[in-house]
Amino acid sequence: MEFFTLGVYNSTEKDFFSRLIKNKIDTFCDVRQRRGVRGAKYSFVNSKKLQLKLAELNIKYCHILDLAPTEGIRKLQKEIDIQKDELKTQRKELGNNFINEYKNLILKNFDFKDFLEKHNRSNSNRIVFFCVENYAKACHRSIVADELINQYKFKVTHL
């Protein structure tokens, strides 16, 4: 198995789906709590539209709510963003409070072995973890990627 991460901010619909095709992604793991984005600019990643397009591309879709940060954890990052006067769409990294809470409340409770076994059985070879932020380090998907790298020795590419 090979792993990738992908965000949508600063992408066009064409560019977004081209990256999936170019990298031969066969499994798309949505790790958002809320699977929608406000406004028309990124409406193509709203759950229903996204799943229809992925089906057209023969890419399996899964929603992994257990890897989504809670409202309380997201609030910690929002407070940091306000202090830095930084928009979520411009963020380049996560704050330590967010990272620590995410690891303690979400990541340590996630069953990676079960996840890996399930995707191995379903012949998933090229799996992408998706959330909205442009920069992987500005998003919890980078923490998931770090776990796959450090604990399971997988290579992870940030698209």
Q: Where are the alpha helices (DSSP H) in the chain?
A: 13-22, 47-56, 71-83, 96-105, 112-121, 141-152
- Average pLDDT over the chain reads 94
Query: Do 140 and 94 contact (CB within 8 A), yes or no?
Result: yes
pTM confidence score: 0.92
pLDDT at 88: 76
pLDDT at 84: 87
**pLDDT tens sequence for the chain (159 residues):** 999 999 999 999 999 999 999 999 999 999 998 877 777 899 999 999 999 999 999 999 999 999 999 999 999 999 988 888 888 777 889 999 999 999 999 999 999 999 999 999 999 999 999 999 999 999 999 999 999 999 999 999 999
